[in-house]
Chain A
Amino acid sequence: MKPAFSVIFFTVMSGAGLGLMVWLLVATMMSAHIRMPNVTFINGVIIAAAFIVVGLCSSTLHLANRKNVIYSLTQFRTSWLSREGVFALALFPIAGLYLWLRSAAAPTVVVHGLALVLIALAIIILFCTGMIYGCLKTIPRWNSWLTPTKYVLFGLMSGALLFVAILSTRSAEIGPLGRPWVAIVLLAAGLLVYLGYLLKHPRKQHTINDALGLKQGQVRLLDVGHTHGTFLTNEFGFQLAREKARLLRWLSIALGFVLPLVLLFFSNTPPFAPVVACLIGLFVERWLFFAEAEHVVRLYHGQQHV
């Protein structure tokens, strides 16, 4: 698949923003353990909102006909893309209501209840984003439960790193153990899921014979019927050199997971280093997610296996 920058940017940024929002809300509910000045909370909210909004705006950049974007909220019943949009838009009024109730010192039960709703909503949005890709039977690489898992987990993970970074800007207590364990555990889990995704082969392999229903013998393409690129070759024909893919895979593992893990675990580095490394790693990961996925229509263009 063609790695479209706007979509890569959208998924990484709003993923981190939603993750940050989740951990900010969790922190407010665990005030006995995590002492966080109100300024830090407000700064966190602003950063989370900026990440989510910038991401959502960028997601509309690849639309060829933006004036009809409003209709994209209508097919909630069948389309994961529509569901994602509806939930993402629902987030803003509910978050506004939450902030208002919080500043108006509403009863703790109500504020915490709403916080739980927001946390659930953030995870649902991440899940929907994952399912947009995971539900496509035409792209065997994506068509697995690992795809939505990855989206939810990586969002929470990068959000946790962002949260740790923001928390460290002012004196705050991270926890009884003195280390950001949530971020560390999530990074470890993220690494495992990512390795699982890279190692697991798609459940089903399709061949050019399956594509044409010609099972009797070897089939090969003689002529593709067009002299230059088409919409299909542009959208689905992306070729990634094996060597480059290997390099980028290791880069994404190292920057996205291993380096932040080491930094958080062993040292008192500047708090923003782990999150910056992780976000760059996730950009590479997301680029590969698209670049390495193969659509079955490639079979009709002469590829032997997908």
Chain B
Amino acid sequence: MKLGLAIDLDTCVGCHACAVACKEWNGKSLMGGAPDYDPYGSAPSGTWYNRIRQYELDGDPSFTPQGCGSTHQPLSKTINVPMSCMHCEEAHCVTVCPTGASYKRAEDGIVLVDPDRCMGCNYCSWACPYGARELDADQGVMKKCTLCVDRIYDQQLPESERQPACVLACPTHARHFGDYDDPASKVSQLAAARGRQDMLGDLGYKPVNAYLSPRKPAQVEAVALRQGLSDKAKAFVNRLISL
């Protein structure tokens, strides 16, 4: 299995619900622990497994209301990007770890940290291009997204809830969870249909999570207006008024 998330960059509204749900679940869970530091003070900070950032993508400068010449979207667009561990296939965060605390599970590809082995050297966080690892300063060990490994296999939960907390919480259903090894799974189908963003692919980490590309805006045919006599009269009156 190759478990991972598919995150829709078109529908994510950047509400941070996934990050809050993650904090809620992992803040206390067996695998987790995500402390806050000075949460109500002047310098609030904390360990998060998931962070959402907002970007602006410029529009096409050659855009006119009559249509735009390129495949580029016409107007600037806000893109919200939640980021957590991508559970990379070539997870160098794992190979650089000197203690063996970081590991990638053979059975489902989930990348985890064993808090009983981690010595808190931060080296793995240096090796991660995506900023997915943060030190838990209270325990002195590295923390990261566990893909809710303590939810997704839990037989006590109803089957519909055996999903990561972030996926369940997302109000716009921008997040999907599944097995990328199965071409029929929802995430595989979505990634195939929409295409995935190539994020620092040249570093060779092969992220498993897919960021579904924003769709191109539909090209609308521009139809020239037919001007009748009354339109001309109206235009004349308008010109008179604005004299």
Question: Which residues of A pack against B, CB within 8 Å?
Answer: 1, 62-69, 71-75, 78-82, 85, 132, 135-139, 204, 206, 208, 210-214, 216-232, 235-236, 295-297, 300-301
With A and B bound together, what is the CA distance between A235 and B14 in angstroms?
A: 25
Residue of B nearest to A82 (CB): B98
- Residues of chain B in range 79-109 having any CB-CB distance to chain A below 8 Å: 79, 81, 83, 92, 94-101
Residues in A with CB closer than 8 Å to B163 are none
Knowing A225-B53, A235-B122 touch, does A71 contact B100 (C-beta < 8 A)? yes
Are A210 and B200 touching (Cβ within 8 A)?
yes
B129 at the binding interface (Cβ < 8 Å): yes
B57 at the binding interface (Cβ < 8 Å): yes
Are B117 and A63 touching (Cβ within 8 A)?
no
Are A137 and B204 touching (Cβ within 8 A)?
yes
Secondary structure dominating the interface of B: loop
Are A219 and B45 touching (Cβ within 8 A)?
no
Residue picked from B98, B130, B203, most chain A C-beta under 10 Å: B98
- Residues of chain B in range 41-63 having any CB-CB distance to chain A below 8 Å: 43-48, 51-60
Shortest Cβ gap from A207 to chain B (Å):
10
Partner of A81, one of B43, B60, B98, B204: B98
- The number of chain B residues with a CB under 8 A from chain A is 66
Are B202 and A300 touching (Cβ within 8 A)?
no
Partner of A219, one of B56, B118, B201: B56
Partner of B58, one of A136, A139, A217, A236: A217
B237 at the binding interface (Cβ < 8 Å): no
Partner of B99, one of A71, A235, A236: A71
Are A204 and B98 touching (Cβ within 8 A)?
no
Shortest Cβ gap from A114 to chain B (Å):
28
Knowing A65-B141, A79-B97, A212-B79 touch, does A296 contact B200 (C-beta < 8 A)? yes
15 A-B pairs in the complex with CB atoms less than 8 angstroms apart: A64-B135, A71-B98, A78-B94, A79-B96, A135-B96, A136-B126, A137-B204, A210-B200, A212-B81, A216-B73, A221-B55, A221-B56, A225-B54, A235-B122, A297-B128
Knowing A138-B129, A227-B44, A228-B44 touch, does A81 contact B134 (C-beta < 8 A)? no
Residues in B with CB closer than 8 Å to A82 are 98-99
Residues in A with CB closer than 8 Å to B95 are 78-79
Are B123 and A132 touching (Cβ within 8 A)?
yes
Partner of A206, one of B83, B100, B134, B200: B200
Are A231 and B47 touching (Cβ within 8 A)?
yes
Residues in A with CB closer than 8 Å to B56 are 219-222
Are A71 and B197 touching (Cβ within 8 A)?
no
Are B54 and A221 touching (Cβ within 8 A)?
yes
Residues in B with CB closer than 8 Å to A74 are 98-100
Residue of B nearest to A138 (CB): B129
B121 at the binding interface (Cβ < 8 Å): yes
